[in-house]
Amino acid sequence: MKRSFTIAVLSGDGIGKEIVPEGVKVLEAIGRLHGLAFNFKEAIVGGGAIDLHGRPLPDETLAVAKAADVVLLGAVGGPKWDGLDSSIRPEKALLGLREQLGLYANLRPARLFPQLIDASTLKREVIEGTDLLVVRELTGGIYFGEPRGIKPYRNEERGINTEVYTTKEIARIAKVAFEAARKRRRKVCSVFGDILSDEAAMLTGSIGMLPSASLGGRTAMYEPIHGSAPDIAGQNKANPLATILSVAMMLNYSFDQEKAADEIEHAVLGVLDQGYRTADIASPGTKLVGTKEMGELVIKQLMKA
């Protein structure tokens, strides 16, 4: 079995720069425990890439991603780039990576950890036992459909987006969903996925807890489902657990290391059991920690197990 992997590290903007290093440290620790070697290749993406190269997804970054076994992505975007034309906004980097890497299937598990039941604004009896998997199509539909854009129309302007899927695109994402459901409760419900995965975060207490895997091509991509959170960027406040749980998904789906993935999940649960919380999941009586401390606690817990 392969034991050495190349990981493209695209931390991006805002809190991406803080949470991704914690994911990398967890990978290094689990690598030592399981005899796995990781070769990290950093590349620039999003707003930072616009500043430096005028484009959110420079060719060099795409090349690093394509050559890697997997991509670990943080988040892109921020107020600084909000005024740019939509064709070169930071978010376009995400769409470009998905398209270029052929990542049509996005898995977004939303599980409520019992320790966080009070972190949700919803009532305990409503959310208890929540465990769902959003399977989101990523390379078809409204993000890529043509025609699109804003054009003059009579005496005003008119905006157009096109929601379009081919039969093949629908069949392959449905297959992913049905196969996943076979291993779960054998239920599939078809609805709109991006907003739904954000809403699912409310069930689990915080969007800072939700990981994701984007699969389909040779190189898979792993990222937290949340954004770059410019309001708390650079303050050591962000929750790194969504990234750390994305790393667990990476070990499971791309590296065939189910045991290592389980160990990471257990370490996260262990740290939550001890009452440590970042601000987004804190509730009265818990111990507030920052991004780095949370990462270190997970590693300490991993080493103990």
Residues that bind ligand IPM (CB under 6 A): 91, 94, 194, 225
Q: Which residue is nearest to Mg ion (CB)?
A: 194
Distance of closest approach, residue 298 Cβ to ligand IPM, in angstroms:
24
Residue nearer to ligand IPM on the CB measure, 101 or 272: 101
Residue nearer to ligand IPM on the CB measure, 43 or 225: 225
299 half-sphere exposure, CB direction, 13 A CA radius: 18
Q: Which of 194, 262, 293, 296 is close enough to bind Mg ion by CB under 5 A?
A: 194
- Of Mg ion, ligand IPM, none, which one sits near residue 91, judging by CB under 5 to 8 A according to partner kind? ligand IPM
| CA–CA gap between residue 278 and residue 281 (Å, rounded) | 6
Distance of closest approach, residue 2 Cβ to Mg ion, in angstroms:
32
Among 8-16, 99-107, 191-199, 204-212, the segment contacting Mg ion (CB under 5 A): 191-199
The three-state DSSP-derived secondary structure of the chain is CCCEEEEEEEEECCCHHHHHHHHHHHHHHHHHHHCCEEEEEECCCCHHHHHHHCCCCCHHHHHHHHHCCEEEEEECCCHHHCCCCHHHCCHHHHHHHHHHHCCCEEEEEEECCHHHHHHCCCCHHHHCCCEEEEEEECCCHHHCCCCCEEEEECCEEEEECCCCCCHHHHHHHHHHHHHHHHCCCCCCCCCCHHHHHHHHHHHHCCHHHCCCEEECCCCEEECCCCCCCHHHCCCCCCCCHHHHHHHHHHHHHCCCCHHHHHHHHHHHHHHHHCCEECHHHCCCCCEECCHHHHHHHHHHHHHHC
Distance of closest approach, residue 198 Cβ to Mg ion, in angstroms:
5
Residue nearer to Mg ion on the CB measure, 233 or 269: 233
Among 57-65, 153-161, 188-196, 285-293, the segment contacting Mg ion (CB under 5 A): 188-196
Distance of closest approach, residue 193 Cβ to Mg ion, in angstroms:
9
Residue nearer to ligand IPM on the CB measure, 78 or 205: 78
Q: If binding is defined by CB under 5 A, does position 202 make contact with Mg ion?
A: no
Residue nearer to ligand IPM on the CB measure, 176 or 260: 176
- Of Mg ion, ligand IPM, none, which one sits near residue 221, judging by CB under 5 to 8 A according to partner kind? none
Residue nearer to Mg ion on the CB measure, 42 or 194: 194
- Of Mg ion, ligand IPM, none, which one sits near residue 68, judging by CB under 5 to 8 A according to partner kind? none
Distance of closest approach, residue 246 Cβ to ligand IPM, in angstroms:
12
Binding site for Mg ion (CB under 5 A): 194
